[in-house]
Amino acid sequence: MTRTTRRHFLHLATATLGAAALTATPLRARTAPLDVVATTGMIADAARNVGGDLVDVTALMGPGVDPHSYRQTRSDIVALTRADAVLWHGLYLEAQMEEMLLKLADRGHVTAVGEAVPQDLLIGHEDYQGKFDPHVWMVPDLWAHVVRAVRDALSTAAPDHADTFAANAESHLAGIARLGDYARGVLDSVPGPSRVLLTAHDAFGYFGRAYDFEVVGIQGISTESEAGLNRIRTLVDMLVERDIRAVFVETSVSDRNIRALVEGAAARGHEVAIGGELFSDAMGEPGTYEGTYIGMIDHNATTIAGALGGEPPVRGMDGRLRAGL
């Protein structure tokens, strides 16, 4: 963005978005890192890996935050309008922010990186035609498309650094490919009848397709619909009839429904364990291994394989997972 369009943009943003008192920021020297704002932690992780020292990345949503229901704060709007590049997921993940982000997108340097996944690889939303399941980060092969889109967006924002971004992206993509191989290997070790993944909401559709698991979410693709008592009853029947021994809680969704299932099954004499906590729509704490994309998926694959009778290494791909999470 040139100085003039940037000022124009700030002015427009103040008028359109209305909520925050904005002051025009002085342009930083060209040597200052690129100011990148990402909606989810996963996208922020991709931007940090691709951008390295050349970017200063802020994630709007931290650990445990549910992107389906997250609504921007005033300080988010200030950060978004001041950023050199805004990276959001799209595919209707940020349902409550979409309108505002689309308005911002008219001004440039705003990219829905999740929408870089080719449409023939996307899973259609069962309730809405033309909408897709946004949870593409669950499978490293799909996430690689998003990492490349992050690389391209950063290169557009700072063309002088395109070569560095390309080299950083290659090395991160190599790590993601290795993660994909690890996930496939440990998940293959789960015996056939146990390949059922029951979680709080439908975040694991791509995971199930890629690794051949039947996936059942108590709530739908978004966490915004409530699960009724009938749904719980039907799922308790399924747990008992199919002898499913473990179900999973998610860090960004209330575990109320999962606990209701476990209690419902226990009342019928069928013991179901909580197989662990999965990172569905948010990563772990910043500064921890689980707070990175690779750590998040390593944790999920290792936890699922271990709880359902597979044989993963206890501490995951590189022995870096925390025990007993």
The residues pairing with 215 across neighbouring beta strands, listed in sequence order, are 197
Query: What gap in Å lies between CA 225 and CA 60, rounded to an integer?
Result: 23
Contacting Zn ion (CB under 5 A), which of 154, 196, 198, 203? 203
Closest distance to Zn ion from the beta carbon of 146 (Å): 15
Counts of helices then strands in the chain (DSSP H, E): 10, 8
Closest distance to Zn ion from the beta carbon of 134 (Å): 7
Contact between 258 and Zn ion (CB under 5 A)? no
| Footprint of Zn ion on 146-165 (CB under 5 A) | none
3-state SS assignment for residue 96: coil
Query: What gap in Å lies between CA 204 and CA 198, rounded to an integer?
Result: 9
Residue among 238, 214, 218 nearest 228 (CA): 218
Read off φ and ψ for residue 182, nearest 5 degrees: -60, -50
Closest distance to Zn ion from the beta carbon of 220 (Å): 9
Among the listed ranges 138-146, 171-179, 195-203, 228-236, the one in contact with Zn ion (CB under 5 A) is 195-203
3-state SS assignment for residue 278: strand
Contact between 76 and Zn ion (CB under 5 A)? no
**How many residues in the shown chain lie near Zn ion by CB under 5 A?**
2
What is the Cβ-side half-sphere exposure of residue 230, based on CA atoms within 13 angstroms? 0
Among the listed ranges 2-10, 117-125, 225-233, 275-283, the one in contact with Zn ion (CB under 5 A) is 275-283
Among the listed ranges 22-30, 174-182, 199-207, 236-244, the one in contact with Zn ion (CB under 5 A) is 199-207
Contact between 133 and Zn ion (CB under 5 A)? no
Contact between 278 and Zn ion (CB under 5 A)? no
Angle between helices 162-188 and 293-307 (to 10 degrees): 0
Among the listed ranges 55-63, 74-82, 147-155, 280-288, the one in contact with Zn ion (CB under 5 A) is 280-288
The most distant pair of C-alpha atoms in the chain lies apart, rounded to whole Å, by: 70
Contact between 250 and Zn ion (CB under 5 A)? no
Nearer to Zn ion, 124 or 193 (CB): 124
What is the contact surface with Zn ion in residues (CB under 5 A)?
Answer: 203, 281
